[in-house]
Amino acid sequence: MKNAATQGQFRRLSETGRDRVSFTLDGQLREALVGDTVMTAVLSQAWQLRVSEPGGDKRAGFCLMGACQDCWMLTESGERLRACTTFIVPGMRLRSKPKTPDEA
């Protein structure tokens, strides 16, 4: 399991002693901290929130205050959520890109 300190876009500066939360990103088990937004949970260990197909345009959010609507991600069940205003919850299953044939 990759832990919450894995390098990504965001750098945690403080309050890293919070309880841990497990979730999956593109089928991989990951860990975040209680109180993280989905955005923090993902960007603290990845460099983007989603890769749009076709074109491969990568996005990682922009305004962080629910205005730009750039940070949406999908869940395994196809639900769309706004990563900057949604908190990570245990067992959340997030996708940054469509499933590969192996996963489907």
Does 47 participate in binding other proteins (rule CB under 8 A)? yes
Does 62 participate in binding other proteins (rule CB under 8 A)? yes
Nearest alpha-carbon partner for 83 in 47, 38, 48, 43? 38
Does 93 participate in binding other proteins (rule CB under 8 A)? no
Q: Which strand (E) or helix (H) includes residue 95?
A: strand 93-95
Does 18 participate in binding other proteins (rule CB under 8 A)? yes
Give residue for tokens 């260990």: 45
Does 103 participate in binding other proteins (rule CB under 8 A)? no
Least CB distance from residue 42 to other proteins, whole Å? Answer: 11
Give residue for tokens 């983007």: 48
